[in-house]
Amino acid sequence: MLSSRIPYRYLLEADRHRRREVAWNGHVPEAAMPDPQQKEQRISVTDLEVLARCPFRYYVDRLAQWRPLIPLEFPDHMNPLDWGGLVHACLEYLIQPYLGQRVTLQELAKQLLGDSGGPLRKAVASLPNRFLSRLEILPIPFRQVAITRLETLLKAYFEEVAKGDCSGDFPVELELKRRVPFPGLAGLRISGQIDRIDERDNVFHVYDYKSGKSPPSKLSRDVSLGYKIQPVLYPWILAEGRSQSSAPAAFSFIFLGDSPPSEKALDPLLNVEELLKPFAEMLETGMYLPTPSETMRELEIEGADSCLFCEYASLCRRFDWGACDRYVDLVEQELSSRLLSMGRSSQQEGEI
């Protein structure tokens, strides 16, 4: 029996559209980079990670900046982006006074945790208002829960540092911003912001904080595919900005969402120019194809679980009739060098 509450006409029309062959091929020449009309363009390290997973998502989210409509919900916790921003800001606030003092992170951790954690509690209680304004979206009882959670997380991290389970030396830079030329793309720069750099005897160590848990997937595989590109690019960006040469910086992720927080050190041995070459080709031609996971599986790229089921799924049309096969053909034709480098990355992965 037909119900008056179901929009049959709309559903039939939508089904008809879905079965139409997808004609779009991902080519947006107007969005090619660098644009000769602009003086200097830049792409951030995190943008490159989006491009590596799904060029179409990079186009709609970062270049076209289309925003999906999201219904307002009752907020009982901060969104992950704001939470990450708050955690980063607090770590910077706590470590900043010790920069240039030749105090190791371990000594600093012990000071903060001394007297049963009193100095750390005092520091969290005196956080500047500009930090706490991020919490104002939450109802008052939930704000207090968030502050307690923040203090617990910071305490857990400094405990791991004090024990020596998370490394650290003399912190010399915090939230360091750098821009370096994109190899092979004159006029385009890569911008990065490094959370913390420690040093001893002119040997540097780059740290990147993640407020979430360590991923279940193999981290080194994500690095070799470009999905996590910071371990390769941050030491390179740091070296590009230094006048005197020294050994390449070491790199570690700090996963603050793990219980207890954990450090994952990665050896940044990949050849940066080789890794960036296929991305340069994509940007230069403006080729922004969607790369659904099923397409990558069909192409037999091991571990390339590329799709993040983002809010643009209705635009990329990955679930349309025949979309997977069509994207397989298009990726083979239009992103052949990216495909080749993803295949080669299994080999390189052994070196990381």
Q: If binding is defined by CB under 6 A, does position 312 make contact with ligand SF4?
A: yes
Select from 22, 89, 99, 310 the one that contacts ligand SF4 (CB under 6 A): 310
Non-local CB neighbours of 6 within 8 Å, separated by 6+ positions: none
Radius of gyration for the alpha carbons in the chain, expressed in angstroms and rounded: 23
Distance CA(350)–CA(234), nearest Å, equals 20
Strand partners for 287: 27
Give me the least distance between CB of 164 and ligand SF4, in Å please. 39
Q: For residue 338, how many C-alpha atoms fall within 13 Å in the half-sphere facing its CB?
A: 27
Q: If binding is defined by CB under 6 A, does position 299 make contact with ligand SF4?
A: no
Q: If binding is defined by CB under 6 A, does position 313 make contact with ligand SF4?
A: yes
Give me the least distance between CB of 61 and ligand SF4, in Å please. 8
With contacts defined by CB under 6 A, how many residues of the chain interact with ligand SF4?
13
CA 344, chain centre distance (Å):
23
Q: With CB under 6 A as the contact rule, which of the stretches 173-181, 229-237, 241-249, 308-316 interacts with ligand SF4? A: 308-316
Decide: 273 and 184 in contact? Cβ < 8 Å: yes
Q: If binding is defined by CB under 6 A, does position 226 make contact with ligand SF4?
A: no
User: What does the block give as tokens for 167?
Assistant: 């490394």
Q: If binding is defined by CB under 6 A, does position 288 make contact with ligand SF4?
A: no
User: Is the torsion defined by CA of 318, 321, 324, 330 positive or negative?
Assistant: negative
Q: If binding is defined by CB under 6 A, does position 168 make contact with ligand SF4?
A: no
Contact track, ligand SF4, 46-85, x by CB under 6 A: --------x-xx----------------------------
CB nearer ligand SF4, residue 313 or residue 328:
313
Instruction: Read off φ and ψ for residue 250, nearest 5 degrees.
Output: -80, 165
Decide: 143 and 135 in contact? Cβ < 8 Å: yes
Decide: 226 and 52 in contact? Cβ < 8 Å: yes
Q: If binding is defined by CB under 6 A, does position 26 make contact with ligand SF4?
A: no
Q: With CB under 6 A as the contact rule, which of the stretches 76-84, 112-120, 213-221, 306-314 interacts with ligand SF4? A: 306-314
Strand 188-200, strand 203-210: pairing: antiparallel
Select from 168, 171, 268, 292 the one that contacts ligand SF4 (CB under 6 A): 292
Residues that bind ligand SF4 (CB under 6 A): 54, 56-57, 290, 292, 307-310, 312-313, 316, 318
